[in-house]
Structure 1
């Protein structure tokens, strides 16, 4: 299955930007439409190790202070990337030999 994500520092997504409010509104909308959530907040995501070289210029040296929003909805992640701008984004397939679980974290 293909997963899409944004990743940034915890400080940016939880203090500088209203991520909680956006996700709460989306969850409420899904509930009103009787749709299952297709997005998750993943602190210190394991899959980020696959992208460590690409994200070194955006993220702190230790990935302990990063958080990711992961979704199977490409358009939602694209919208989040446009909304927050100062985040990195990407996609991956899981499970694979490199990424056993899309929601695994450290």
Structure 2
């Protein structure tokens, strides 16, 4: 199983109101310079928020939602501090309630 970390908010907040694309482009550039594989994704309408174990977090997020998901907990902590008004959580996948965590990212 893989541990995923995420911040989630309304899709409008993450894709329109915040300059999130600037942050993600900079990270992609930095990863390219380091030869590091991308370990984060912007997921619109993330299905994993429907998992029963994430209900408390999902209830805090206006719909339609979006999320930045990563295997890097420090990056998600940075995103939480940078964006402030987001819900933060984590999950393991695949699991019985989250069969393929990144299916909606593809």
| RMSD between aligned residues | 1.5
Structure 2 Cα separation of the partners of residues 94 and 84 of structure 1: 25
Q: Tell me what 2:58 maps to.
A: 55
- The offset of 1:47, in angstroms, is 0.7
- SS of equivalent to 1:77: helix
Unaligned stretches of 5+ in structure 2? none
Deviations 1:38-73 (A, max 9, x none): 0011111111012234332x323xx4x211111000
Structure 1 Cα separation of the partners of residues 29 and 45 of structure 2: 26
Would you say 1:102 and 2:101 are equivalent positions?
yes
Q: Tell me what 2:11 maps to.
A: 10
Number of residue equivalences: 102
Structure 1 Cα separation of the partners of residues 101 and 58 of structure 2: 18
- TM-score, normalised via structure 2 length: 0.89
Structure 2 Cα separation of the partners of residues 104 and 49 of structure 1: 13
Alpha carbons 1:42, 1:104 under 8 Å: kept: no
Would you say 1:84 and 2:83 are equivalent positions?
yes
- The offset of 1:13, in angstroms, is 1.0
